[in-house]
Every structure is written in structure tokens, then in C-alpha cells.
């Protein structure tokens, strides 16, 4: 069994063997995957070696992530996949977002006093669980873009689940940090020894129940997940959760559909950027931020400078004000995508940025003829999400962000995997100031997301960058910042993943604790910013095409690697 450190070393050997790496990025000539865990990345690379497509590799990596990074994504969650098809030169997106069951109501998260219950209280159990979408989405993408047989893609994950894997650093940390999760019997049973001690880094964990589920899905696809024994186990876990039992039924599972959607695209300094549209707010928000920043020259947007941090925080404010008002599930609310990305509109919004002073609370903009009500903002939370980027030999590119929402999701398991708590991504309040909220829970609806898997093209149309990150609402600045760092600052992927973070959810300017940005706090305060120093733990995985091949970077805040050949 190869351990995590050997795999990380392998990635570095790949660099020196090819001798063409810049900084700490990993170089590969032909194909590459960057994922948040070395076992997942390695499974993806094995599939690429066997002639698999980028979609095939993403599927194999996702199945392994269910096992090795179970706190962040898996069969019980949802995902967005953005794909570049080099044959048609088109970008498409696959929406595997979880949906609310038919029993969902707009007041499902309110307490007896009519106020929203604290999020920490509504997350564990069955009520917060959305109908999982990742299996349906991956099967849909595989039908169009798969090259290897579906069943073959499950082999690495089945073997690891049956034989066991050494617990990684992040999983071990999360088990210890999420102490309250141990109150939930499934967490206690799977992530703790019988003597009550948690699994530690390097200890071997096996998941035979997951191996069985993976075998069934390998053999029968979505049929085995959305019908039959797995579906029954999901319904049972939700309906009989030890706290907050939910109303999900077999019909909810049988009715789940993934959706192929057009991407949202915009431009930044001549490069085309495509990402996920609604129900994600992420694509629109990163495009808005970057386009507003285009008013300023790259020289004022150099990484880690005062001018960058100030201007970036102001652009965040404006984008988050629009996000709070206009975004929701496009199946339920008419999201004014074109208005929000209109060049003249964004040029007008950019003029609101004062280069010398914080603007204070930004108001959402007025979009002609498209009045909208608003959804509330989120605050940073723990990360139950993962990002992977892949490019195959033929030039197909996948940028996929995958989630179970919070660390350990709803903290209940079915057949060896954790169930998501994605429904707490809805606005817990159905109305604010008497006005209906676009992102309120409704039966069959998809909660608004911030996930922003992105693909960037050079002005000549050639693929250039695949990027994305976990981080709840902070995904938006993480992705926008790494793209600005590469485009304005000329950073390579590894340096871009390591950038110290800044975020303004239209309230305060948050600077990443323990980084160079902390030194900017006094000057930012003098400019009017309310500064908060906080940990901001992204998990970006970035691939960049160069003239010789590809460079890859994996966020140093997580266990991931970029690996290729």
C-alpha cells in the first residue's frame, strides 16, 4: 500500500524528472489531475493512464474521495462539474445539486417562536438532508463524455474501501475538531474505536459497507442508488435519524434528475472565464468581481498589496450585495443572469469603488425591468466540500466542486457513506422584512450554492486554467483571487493556491490569520475597513496549460496533490 507521503513525493519526483517546473507547481506533459487527497488523485491518474477521459478520471477520484475524505464529499452529496470539450470547443456544465424532498416546507427550519433555529441545531439528523445528486450527475456526464466502462472507474475505490486506507491529516483533524459530531451514533461507530478514541492520522480505516455500495453502483449505475437497497437505507437514515428526523421518501430519490446547463461566461483582461450558473451564485459572483476589478490596472492588483486587498474587498461587497438579492434556484426564481453580467451594469458598479476608502455596506444594483427579492448572506463555516481539476491527453478539461455541505454533512450514514446537510444552504428564513426570499426552501428546489468550478481560456480560445475551491461563501473570493493572482500577478498554480486570503461578505474585511495580510490591517482600518483576522481555509486545486504541458497546484491548507505525466 502506498502511503500519502510516498504519493506526495511521487508528485515531486514527477517535477524533477521532467525538469520543467516553475516554483513548486507540478509539471506534466500530457495529462494531469489535482485533487484534495493523494489517493483520489492517484486513482484519477490510473484511469487517465488507461485511456480514460477527464470525466472518467473525475468519477474514479470522486469514488475514492467518498472513502478517504468522507467529511467533505461523497455518494451522499451533490456536485457541479464544468467541462471543456476540445472537439466542439464548447463548455458545458452538469448540475448534481441536491434537491429538497416533497415534504420540504418554507418554514421547516423555524422554531416555535417563528425564528430560524440555530444552524448548528438543524444540521445534524434527517431534516437537512437533500436528495443526493452526485451519482446521477456523474452518470449523465459519463454517458456523454466517458471513454472507459462505468464499472471500471469504481475499481480503485472498491479495493481501498475493502482493504482499508491510512487516515489522512485532514480527516484526523476533523474528527478531533468536530467533537459534537461524536454525539451522533454513526460518527461514533465509524470514526471512533470501540474504546472511544478517535481514528488518528495513519491508522487504517476500512469501509466494507461502502465497498458493497460501490460494487452495486458500478454494476447497475443510478438504478442501484436511487432505487432498491441503497435508496431504502438513505430513507431509513433520514426518517429515523436520532435527531431532527426528516421526511425524505423513496419517491424523492426516484424523482431525482441531474441537469446539463449552459455555463455562465465572462471575460477578464481578454481571457474568457466560464463557470457554474444558478443554482450556484458562484460563477456570476466571480465574474462580477473580476469584471469590476478590470477598471483598475494590473499594477494595482498585485498579490498581497494594500491596493489589491482594498479593491478586492470592495468588489466583494458589491458582488455579495447582488448575490444576496438576486440568486436562487433557476427552476423556482427567475435569476437575472444577463443583467448581472451586463458590461455597462458592471462598469457602473465598478465606479462605486473608491480607491482610497471602504464604501461601507453596498446595496444591490438596480437591474432594468427585473425586480427581485433577496436572500440572506452566509458567514464562513466548516468545509464539507472538495475541488478537483483534470485534463486528459485529448485536452478535455473537468473542473468539479463536490460537497456534503458541512464537515461530516448531516452526520448520519447510509450503506457506508455520509449524507449531506445541503438543505441548510437554503435561507432558513422564508421571508425577510416581509418579502419572500429567493432561496427559501420549497419541495423539489435546489439550495443556492457558492461553488464556482471555473475554466479559463486565453484570448486565442485555447484552454488555460482550471480552478475551484471549497469554502462555503468564501469560495467566491478564493476562486476570484487565485484567478486574479494568475492573470494580474503572473503566479503559477501552486503560488495561486497558497495566496493569503481576503474576503468581504459586504460587512467586514476578513484577512487570513497568520499571513502577510495581517500587517495591512492598520492601513485598511485607516481606509475605513472593519478588519477581522480569521482562519480562511480554502482547498483550491488548479491546473494551468503552459507551452510545454501543464502545471498543477494543490492547496497547502489541505492534503491534496497535483499529479500527472
Q: Which residues are marked as active site?
A: 385
Under a CB-based contact definition with an 8 Å cutoff, are residues 174 and 383 in contact? no
Among 101, 278, 365, 470, binds ligand GLU (CB under 6 A): 470
By CB under 6 A, is residue 450 in contact with ligand GLU? yes
Q: How far is the CB of 257 from ligand GLU (least distance, A)?
A: 19
Work out whether 171 is an interface residue with ligand GLU (CB under 6 A). Answer: no
Interface pick for ligand GLU out of 166, 384, 489, 493 (rule CB under 6 A): 384
Residue closer to ligand GLU by CB (options 336, 471) is 471
- Give min distance, CB of 392 to ligand GLU, in A: 26
The pair phi, psi for residue 93, each rounded to 5°, is: -135, 150
Does 96 sit near ligand GLU (CB under 6 A)? Answer: no
Closer to ligand GLU by Cβ: residue 330 or 395 = 330
Q: Is 212 helix (H, G, I), strand (E, B) or coil?
A: helix
Interface pick for ligand GLU out of 66, 99, 385, 497 (rule CB under 6 A) = 385
Residue 553 as a binder of ligand GLU (CB under 6 A): the answer is no
Is residue 316 packed enough to be buried (19+ CB in 10 Å), middle (13-18) or exposed (0-12)? Answer: buried
471 Cβ contact list (under 8 Å, min separation 6):
380, 383, 385, 450, 478, 536, 537, 538, 539
Distance CA 305, CA 299 (A): 10
Q: Which stretch binds ligand GLU (CB under 6 A): 106-114, 207-215, 284-292, 379-387?
A: 379-387
User: Minimum distance from CB of 471 to ligand GLU (Å)?
Assistant: 5
Q: Could you tell me the smallest distance in angstroms from the CB atom of residue 391 to ligand GLU?
A: 23
Number of residues that bind ligand GLU (CB under 6 A): 14
Q: Is 532 exposed, middle or buried (0-12, 13-18, 19+ CB in 10 A)?
A: middle
CA distance 347 to 244: 47
For every residue of 64-133, which 3-state class applies, written as one string?
A: HHHHHCCCCCCCCCEEEEEEEECCCCEEEEEEECCECCCCCCCCCCECCCCCECCHHHHCCCCCCCCECC
The secondary structure element, H or E, covering residue 399 is strand 397-405
471 binds ligand GLU (CB under 6 A): yes
Stretch that binds ligand GLU, among 86-94, 129-137, 262-270, 471-479 (CB under 6 A): 471-479
Contact between 425 and ligand GLU per CB under 6 A: yes
Interaction between residue 25 and ligand GLU (CB under 6 A): no
Cell of 265: 461566461
Is there a contact between 70 and 384 (Cβ–Cβ < 8 Å)? no
Per CB under 6 A, the list member of 4, 327, 451, 536 interacting with ligand GLU is: 451
List 96's β-bridge partners, or say none: 79
Is the CB of 303 or the CB of 471 nearer to ligand GLU? 471
Q: Which stretch binds ligand GLU (CB under 6 A): 13-21, 433-441, 468-476, 494-502?
A: 468-476
Contact 65, 35 (CB under 8 A): yes
**Which of 45, 37, 83 lies closest to 64 in space, CA to CA?**
37
Give the separation between CA 415 and CA 134, rounded to whole angstroms: 16
Among 449, 509, 515, 541, binds ligand GLU (CB under 6 A): 449
Nearer to ligand GLU, 53 or 421 (CB): 421
Rounded to a whole number of angstroms, the minimum distance from the CB of residue 405 to ligand GLU is 4
Give whichever of 69 and 425 is closer to ligand GLU, judged by the CB atom: 425
Stretch that binds ligand GLU, among 122-130, 230-238, 346-354, 465-473 (CB under 6 A): 465-473
Q: Which residues bind ligand GLU (CB under 6 A)?
A: 383-385, 403, 405, 422, 425, 449-451, 470-472, 475
Amino acid at each position: 500500500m502506498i502511503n500519502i507521503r510516498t504519493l506526495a513525493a511521487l508528485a515531486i519526483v514527477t517535477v524533477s524528472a521532467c525538469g520543467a517546473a516553475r516554483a513548486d507547481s507540478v509539471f506534466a506533459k500530457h495529462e494531469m489531475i489535482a485533487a484534495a487527497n493523494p489517493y483520489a488523485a492517484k486513482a484519477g491518474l490510473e484511469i487517465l493512464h488507461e485511456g480514460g477521459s477527464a470525466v472518467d478520471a473525475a468519477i474514479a477520484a470522486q469514488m475514492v474521495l467518498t472513502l478517504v475524505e468522507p467529511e467533505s464529499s461523497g455518494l451522499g452529496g451533490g456536485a457541479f462539474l464544468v467541462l471543456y470539450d476540445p472537439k466542439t470547443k464548447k463548455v458545458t456544465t452538469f448540475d448534481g445539486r441536491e434537491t429538497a424532498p416533497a415534504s420540504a416546507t418554507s418554514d421547516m427550519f423555524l422554531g416555535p417562536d417563528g425564528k430560524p433555529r440555530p444552524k448548528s441545531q438543524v444540521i445534524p439528523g434527517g431534516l437537512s438532508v437533500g436528495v443526493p445528486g452526485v451519482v446521477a450527475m456523474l452518470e449523465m456526464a459519463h454517458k456523454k463524455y466517458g471513454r472507459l466502462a462505468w464499472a471500471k472507474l469504481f475499481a480503485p475505490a472498491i479495493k481501498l474501501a475493502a482493504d482499508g486506507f491510512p487516515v489522512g491529516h485532514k480527516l484526523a483533524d476533523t474528527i478531533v475538531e468536530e467533537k459534537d459530531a461524536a454525539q451522533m451514533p454513526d460518527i461514533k461507530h465509524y470514526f471512533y474505536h470501540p474504546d472511544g478514541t478517535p481514528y488518528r492520522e495513519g491508522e487504517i480505516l476500512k469501509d466494507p459497507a461502502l465497498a458493497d455500495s460501490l460494487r452495486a453502483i458500478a454494476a447497475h449505475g443510478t438504478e442501484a442508488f436511487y432505487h432498491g437497497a441503497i435508496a431504502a437505507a438513505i430513507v431509513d437514515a433520514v426518517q429515523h435519524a436520532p435527531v431532527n428526523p426528516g421526511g425524505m421518501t423513496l419517491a424523492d430519490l426516484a424523482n431525482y434528475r441531474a441537469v446539463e446547463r449552459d455555463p455562465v461566461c465572462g471575460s477578464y483582461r481578454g481571457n474568457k472565464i466560464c463557470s457554474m450558473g444558478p443554482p450556484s451564485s458562484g460563477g456570476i459572483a466571480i465574474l462580477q468581481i473580476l469584471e469590476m476589478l478590470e477598471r483598475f490596472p494590473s499594477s494595482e492588483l498585485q498579490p498581497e498589496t494594500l491596493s489589491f486587498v482594498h479593491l478586492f474587498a470592495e468588489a466583494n461587497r458589491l458582488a455579495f450585495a447582488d448575490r444576496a438579492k438576486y440568486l436562487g434556484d433557476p427552476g423556482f426564481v427567475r435569476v437575472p443572469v444577463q443583467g448581472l453580467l451586463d458590461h455597462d451594469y458592471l462598469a457602473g458598479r465598478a465606479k462605486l469603488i473608491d480607491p482610497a476608502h471602504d464604501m461601507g455596506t453596498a446595496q444591490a444594483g438596480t437591474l432594468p425591468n427585473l425586480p427581485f427579492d433577496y436572500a440572506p448572506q452566509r458567514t464562513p463555516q466548516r468545509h464539507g466540500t472538495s475541488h478537483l481539476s483534470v485534463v486528459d491527453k485529448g485536452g478535455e478539461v473537468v473542473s468539479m466542486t463536490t460537497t456534503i455541505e458541512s464537515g461530516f454533512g448531516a452526520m448520519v450514514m447510509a450503506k457506508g457513506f455520509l449524507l449531506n446537510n445541503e438543505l441548510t444552504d437554503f435561507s432558513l428564513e422564508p421571508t425577510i422584512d416581509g418579502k419572500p426570499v429567493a432561496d427559501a426552501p420549497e419541495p423539489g428546489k435546489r439550495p443556492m450554492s457558492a461553488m464556482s468550478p471555473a475554466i479559463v481560456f486565453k484570448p486565442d480560445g485555447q484552454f488555460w486554467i482550471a480552478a475551484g475551491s471549497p469554502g462555503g461563501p468564501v469560495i467566491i473570493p478564493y476562486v476570484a483571487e487565485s484567478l486574479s493572482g494568475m492573470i494580474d500577478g503572473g503566479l503559477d498554480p501552486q503560488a495561486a493556491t497558497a495566496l493569503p486570503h481576503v474576503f468581504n461578505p459586504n460587512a467586514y474585511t476578513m484577512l487570513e490569520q497568520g499571513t502577510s495580510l495581517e500587517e495591512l490591517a492598520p492601513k485598511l482600518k485607516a481606509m475605513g475597513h472593519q478588519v477581522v483576522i480569521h482562519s480562511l481555509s480554502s482547498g483550491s486545486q488548479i491546473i494551468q496549460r503552459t507551452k510545454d504541458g501543464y502545471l498543477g497546484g494543490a492547496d497547502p491548507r489541505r492534503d491534496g496533490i497535483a499529479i500527472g505525466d
